[in-house]
Amino acid sequence: MPINEFRSITMFAKAVELGSIRKAALAQGVTPQAASQAIAQLEKFLGVRLLHRTTRSLGLTEEGQHFLENTQPALAALDRALGLARKAKDEIAGSLRIVGPKSSFASILMPLLDEFCREYPDIQPDVQLDDGMTDWVLDRADVGFRIGASADERVIGRTLFKIQLIVCASPAYLARHGVPTTLGDLATHRCGIFRHPSTGQVSPWYLNVNGEIEHRHVVPAFSTNDTELELQAVLAGQTIGQLANFMAAPHIRAGRLIPILLPHMSDHMGLHIYYGSRAAQPKRVRAFLDLALTRLLDSPDHVLSGKELLSASNEWKRSPREVWYIPPR
């Protein structure tokens, strides 16, 4: 049904309900002239007269009576649907569709969802994690996250924090194999690499060299398409790895990982959150966005300060090597 015909039917029904075209116009927020024209156009479209009009009264014709009786159930159902939609917009309940990367992202997202669902138990998260490049619009997502480049131009995006790519090793590895002090030293060390799950391509290490980002392919002693396994290999002392700050930060702070080659750490990428027009967002989506920004924007939980990194690196130099040494099996 064309929208102008729907408005005409609504105006007709409201005029009958209130007994006046003028009152119907006021209720619908239009001029009396526009209301009268809408009803006249409906009569012309149907080819019958629906109302008897006088200066003081309004009455239904027989055709008008039948038309009203036949349209009232549909109008009532539509009114209920509109009311439910308005109510849902203002409730923090229902489905919340989130898309994001698969690799290592669960540890960032789950604390947010846990806090949000505890506050709003009627929320039903629908989370799709995929390392492939997805189309936010086609995915019909309420909120999206992305590591790397900024979000799609068709949506609103904000950078939550920088991704620090830190070359790390365990104390046991460094005790066994020594500490690389230059990028050239990496050629004699056991390096771990990440292989993209969907393409199988090897991700290079992104290194800061004289202020420029260099993509360096290291000779792999260990490769995997799972970032958690990559992290565990470094923690176990099997390899040196380049790890993102949100994976490495708790282990660096606990002394389980030592940051090395700090002048070559890169932070050219970021974690981004993106969404549609904030003005048109349901309340549940706005509430989740507010929580995500509060918890993750420049989060000290995930971003290591220069002072922290330097202190953690120097701690290795100050500590007796035999304390850290684990004999090879």
3-state SS record for 166-233: EEEECHHHHHHHCCCCCHHHHHHCCEEEEECCCCCCECCEEEEECCEEEEECCCEEEEECCHHHHHHH
pLDDT for residue 52? 80
Confidence (pLDDT) at 320? 47
Determine the distance from the C-alpha atom of residue 144 to the mean position of all C-alpha atoms in its chain, rounded to a whole number: 2
Angstrom distance (rounded) from CA 248 to CA 267 = 14
114: helix, coil or strand?
helix
Encoded tokens for 63: 């055709």
Q: Contact 312/259 with Cβ under 8 angstroms?
A: yes
Give me the half-sphere count of Cα atoms (radius 13 Å) on the Cβ side of residue 202: 14
- Residue 124 has which token pair? 């039903």
* Contact of 68 with 60, CB cutoff 8 Å: yes
All structural domains of the chain: 3-90 (1.10.10.10), 91-329 (3.40.190.290)
Per-residue pLDDT of the chain (329 residues; tens, 9 = 90+): 454 677 888 888 888 888 888 887 888 888 888 888 888 888 888 888 888 876 667 888 888 788 878 888 877 777 776 665 665 556 788 899 999 888 888 999 999 999 999 999 999 999 998 877 555 554 678 999 988 765 566 678 889 999 999 999 999 999 999 999 999 999 999 999 999 877 888 899 999 999 999 999 999 999 999 999 999 999 999 999 999 999 999 999 999 999 999 999 999 999 999 888 766 688 899 999 999 999 999 999 999 999 999 999 987 666 544 444 343 33
Predicted local confidence at residue 55, as pLDDT:
64
- Residue 21 Cα distances to 34, 47, 91, angstroms: 10, 20, 35
